[in-house]
Each structure stands twice: as C-alpha cells, then as structure tokens.
Amino acid sequence: MNPFFNLHTVADGVWAAIVVPGSGALGNAAIIDLGDSTVVVDTFSLPQAAELLKQAAEKLTGKPVQYVINTHYHGDHHYGNQVFTNSQIITTGITRDCLTKEAAPTTEAWQEGLQQVITTLEKGRQAAQDNRLQTAFANEIADKKALLRAVPDIRRVTASITFSDKMIIHGSARTATVLTFGGGHTESDAMVYVEDAGVLIAGDLVLSRTHPAMLSGSLENWPGIVERIGRELEFSKLIPGHGEVTDRSSLGEMIRYLTAIPEYARQAAASGETEAYWLEGGVPEPFAAWEMSHVFGWNFRWLYQQYKQGEGVK
C-alpha cells in the first residue's frame, strides 16, 4: 500500500496502478512483464508517485523498466517520466510534437496558474449542492495542491522513440502492441494492446464510469475511435486512464456519453435558457453516478458556448 495508487493484477504479467483520488497521482498507470523486459504505461502526475511505480514494476517483474509509453500529452500521464532515467520513452510523433513545440513554463508561471485554478475549484466546491459533486471538487483541489507543491521538482522528459500508427515491442514471453487510431481525447492518443493476456490499456480514450474531459482533441473522431477499438481488438479487460479496471462494456458507455452529452448541450443552447439554468438540473442520467462529476460542468459549459456561437463541435 502507498498513498498514491493501488495495484491490481489484471492478467498474468499485467498490473493496473489505479490512483487514489485526491492523492495527486491523478491518472492511472500500468505495468507489463514481457518476459525479458518490463514496460510501464503512463507515469502519473507526480514524480514521487512515479518513483513508487518504478519500484513496484521492478519488484513485480524482477527486471528494470526498459520502456515507458505515454498514451497522450496531458501531464497526469507523463510528469513522472523523469524518474525513468534508464528507460526508453515512447509516444506518437504528434504527442511528442505537442510537448516540444513550446518551452515548458517557468516554475513561477506554472505555480501562479495552478493557484488560479485552485481558487476557481474552491468556488465550485462551495457552490456545489450535492455530496458527489463536493467530493469531486475536493479531490481535484487536493490533486492540484499536490501538483503545486511538486512543481519545482518536475522536469519535462519527452519521448526518445516515436511512431505513427503501430509498433510492436517483442519480449521473450509476449509482445505489446502500441498503436493509435488518431486523435480523440487529444490530438493523438496511443493505446497498448497485450493480445495474449486479453488486456487493453486505453489511456483516456475509454474511462470507467468517469466523466471524460472533452475540451481537447476531436469530438467528431472520438466515438468512431472507440467503435473501431471494439471492432478490431479482442480483449476482456480494460485499464482506463481514470476509474477502476473494467471490461468491454465501457466501450458502449463511452460512446453513449460522447454522443449524448453534446446533444444535451445542443438542446440546451437552443432552448433559450442560460447554461446556469441547465447546470442547476445536475448531471443527466445515466451519467449522474459517474465519478469526477465536476468534469461534466466543464464539458457542458464548453459545448453550450460552442453551440450558442453556432460553431458546433469538432
């Protein structure tokens, strides 16, 4: 046990590191034993959590981590890269470009921005009417405060290996296929498919009963990517970027969310009522019980404004 994540055996030689809400780790990670080498997928938002992930991977497999795969460019999936100094880091070429096209912010600017975010989240928590939403805000605030404390120690470490469509890492006991179907959650999203174990590590493309952030990437492409996952990949277990280990049922749930919430916002924008009026009604069913419910508000406001301006979503 550690304060940042809980380890779950998903299949023989495949483990999920599921974050503790509010710990600061924020995004899930995974460990794969290929036989003669070890792979880690995503590295959390905090270097100290990533250090414990590295230790766990080496203890479980008996080997150093040779490869680290980042599913996309959001910080909760790669800020811990710096811990894996002797590993080869892999992303899509587009993800690496997103991280290298601009310099990392200064410590002062990053901390100032985080403090502003925390202030906004505090206002949201104070205004929240139900316990689930209050808890979601409280966890997000705790995550951001942990990141704020860690900022001076975080160094951006980007991929040394990139790919365009698919690459296969061959081990003595199994292979891991790293692939992308394009950009949905972000401009470029990677997955890791362990075929013999029947496991897909999906990053933030597919979550487990958790509201996905929809403000980056392509809502036009995202549902189709999830549909393609269902058609082309055979697996029984799915490790999501957020939420608990799940199965293929989460594919349908994600598609429903990605189509229903934009339609809900479109109807709201056309109703003549304000976004505040609609948000007072809470999260629509069947998504009201999903985790990270504060993210629904972010999604709805962004979508509502897009439709109000006549732009739709892309």
Quick one: tokens of 71? 């599913």
* Whether this model's pTM surpasses 0.85: yes
Dist CA 22 CA 43 (whole Å) = 16
Residue 240 pLDDT exceeds 70: yes
The 10s digit of each residue's pLDDT in 104-133 is: 999 999 999 999 999 999 999 999 989 999
Band (pLDDT 50/70/90 cuts) for residue 314 is low
- The pLDDT tens digits for 161-206 are 999 999 999 999 999 999 999 999 999 999 999 999 999 999 999 9
Question: Using 50, 70 and 90 to split pLDDT, how confident is the model at 310?
Answer: confident
**Tens digit of each residue's pLDDT (9 = 90 or more) over 274-287:** 999 999 999 999 99
Mean pLDDT of 269-298: 95
Give me the pLDDT at residue 69, please: 98
Spell out the residues 6+ positions from residue 171 whose beta carbon is closer than 8 angstroms to its own: 33, 34, 35, 36, 37
User: Burial level of 270, CB count in 10 A (0-12/13-18/19+)?
Assistant: exposed
Residue of 310, 211, 191, 306 whose CA lies nearest to 258: 211
Which tokens sit at 274? 């304000």
Round to whole Å and give the CA distance between 251 and 264: 20
What are the tens digits of pLDDT across the range 41-99?
999 999 999 999 999 999 999 999 999 999 999 999 999 999 999 999 999 999 999 99
Residue 150 sits at φ, ψ, to 5 deg, of -85, -15
Asked whether the beta carbons of 235 and 199 are under 8 A apart, the reply is: yes
User: What is the rounded average pLDDT of the residues 218-247?
Assistant: 98
If DSSP states are collapsed to H, E and C, what string results for 154-185?
CCCCCCCEEECCEEEEECCCCEEEEEECCCCC
pLDDT of residue 129: 86
Confidence of residue 312 (pLDDT cuts 50, 70, 90): low
Q: Which residues contact 127 (CB under 8 A, 6 or more apart)?
A: none
- pLDDT at residue 311 above 70? no
Assigned token pair, 1: 């046990």
Angle at 131 between CA 123 and CA 133, to 5 degrees: 50
Beta bridge partners of 237: 199
Q: What is the mean pLDDT of the chain?
A: 96
For 262-289, what is the mean pLDDT?
Answer: 95
**Mean pLDDT to the nearest integer, 132-144:** 97
SS3 58: helix
